[in-house]
Amino acid sequence: MLKVSDLSAGFETETGFLEAVDRVSFRVDDKESLGIVGESGCGKSVTAHSILGLLPQPSGKITGGTISLNGKELATLGEKKLREIRGREVGMIFQEPMTALNPVHPIGRQIAECLRTHGMGKKRQNRDRALELLQKVGIPSPEQRLKEYPHQLSGGMRQRIVIAMALACHPHLLIADEPTTALDVTTQAQILELLAELKESLSMALILITHDLGVIAETCDRVVVMYAGRVVESAPVREIFANPLHRYTAGLLRSIPSLETVPKTRLSTIPGRVPGLAELPVGARFAPRSDHPQIDDYLQSEDFHSKRPDLIEAAPGHWVEDCDYVRTD
């Protein structure tokens, strides 16, 4: 359905062009759910925005690669065509539901508007369809809700509305960028469950973007791990949890809170931070944070400054950055 190949994208800034996404490749098959995970600043949103033609203009640019959606090439498509694809073929949900909602209009009107822009049915039908959508996303007393304004709803309810709007035109693919990050833990679990349910019942494909590998465990079939603008590992979810091959992935796994975690114990976090776009090495970008015993050898090597590691298929369907110093052993 969606095939992203060697996608590179970045921003024109006062100090020159900065690359935020470096030759990222992945695919999403029909009805599949793909997780994209990585700490904040790793290029997940820039990747999603590139697919949807939503990079900020005029600074954001796709500089290389292809994005093929059901055979259509999106990377070079004009804004008008892209607008048709957004909403109709690809639905999207972002972290903060209020960005997708208009505070001055009642919910019903916003859903109707969304159906109308995409030329769905007549007024009467649209109202029925809006009610049906609200039911589908688990909103109690939908008749009542249609008349309410976004501020009258809880964060979880708002996100359900945004999901309803994203589903309005039966997209084949839903891209959810940190859809639960702004919500409390209980609501988070409910929204994830809803997304998983909808994906099944509507036979959609799903891209779930998150900084929390725990979120992916329940919801996704496969996962792509991004670090500093690159894919460093990708595999079926079960495989990633059982056998992480990249030290970054292993670090992310250690930082998932579990039910057994004593509330006051501190979760392990990966020491160091994601590098800024102006300070990215050519070699394995996670190396400065890697706990490999001989990591200093690599950091001082010519390779670190000049050789971009390829991804290799270490086991069937399990890809990892080809650099011993960032691999687990």
Residues near ligand ADP, by CB under 6 A: 11, 13, 20, 38, 40-46, 56, 59, 277
Residues of this chain, 31-90, that bind Mg ion according to CB under 5 A: 45
What angle is formed at CA 16 by the lines to CA 13 and CA 21, rounded to 5 degrees?
Answer: 75
* Closest residue to Mg ion in the complex (CB): 45
| Minimum distance, C-beta of residue 123 to ligand ADP, in the bound complex (Å) | 38
| Minimum distance, C-beta of residue 80 to ligand ADP, in the bound complex (Å) | 23
| Minimum distance, C-beta of residue 41 to ligand ADP, in the bound complex (Å) | 4
Which lies closer to Mg ion via its Cβ, residue 41 or residue 91? 41
| Minimum distance, C-beta of residue 23 to ligand ADP, in the bound complex (Å) | 15
Q: Which helix (H) or strand (E) holds 139?
A: none
| Minimum distance, C-beta of residue 59 to ligand ADP, in the bound complex (Å) | 6
Do 213 and 250 contact (CB within 8 A), yes or no? no
Within 8 A by CB and 6+ apart from 69, the residues are 1, 2, 51, 85, 89, 90, 173
Q: Which does 70 bind (CB under 5 to 8 A by kind): ligand ADP, Mg ion, none?
A: none
| Minimum distance, C-beta of residue 9 to ligand ADP, in the bound complex (Å) | 9
CA distances from 171 to 97, 124, 166, 167, 200 (A): 19, 22, 8, 6, 13
Which lies closer to ligand ADP via its Cβ, residue 43 or residue 179? 43
Q: Is 253 helix (H, G, I), strand (E, B) or coil?
A: helix
Burial environment of residue 8 by CB neighbours within 10 A (0 to 12, 13 to 18, 19 or more): middle
Which lies closer to ligand ADP via its Cβ, residue 18 or residue 82? 18
Rounded CA-CA distance 108/159 in Å is 15
* Closest residue to ligand ADP in the complex (CB): 45
Strands (E), 136-193: 173-177
- Under the binding rule (CB under 5 A), the answer on residue 210 touching Mg ion is no
Task: Please give the single-letter amino acid code of residue 144.
Answer: Q
Which lies closer to Mg ion via its Cβ, residue 28 or residue 46? 46
Which lies closer to ligand ADP via its Cβ, residue 121 or residue 276? 276
Do 286 and 228 contact (CB within 8 A), yes or no? yes
Q: Which does 16 bind (CB under 5 to 8 A by kind): Mg ion, ligand ADP, none?
A: none
- Under the binding rule (CB under 5 A), the answer on residue 180 touching Mg ion is no
Task: Report the DSSP pairing between strands 2-13 and 173-177.
Answer: unpaired
- Under the binding rule (CB under 5 A), the answer on residue 126 touching Mg ion is no
Tokens of 147: 């008349």
* Footprint on this chain of Mg ion (rule: CB under 5 A): 45
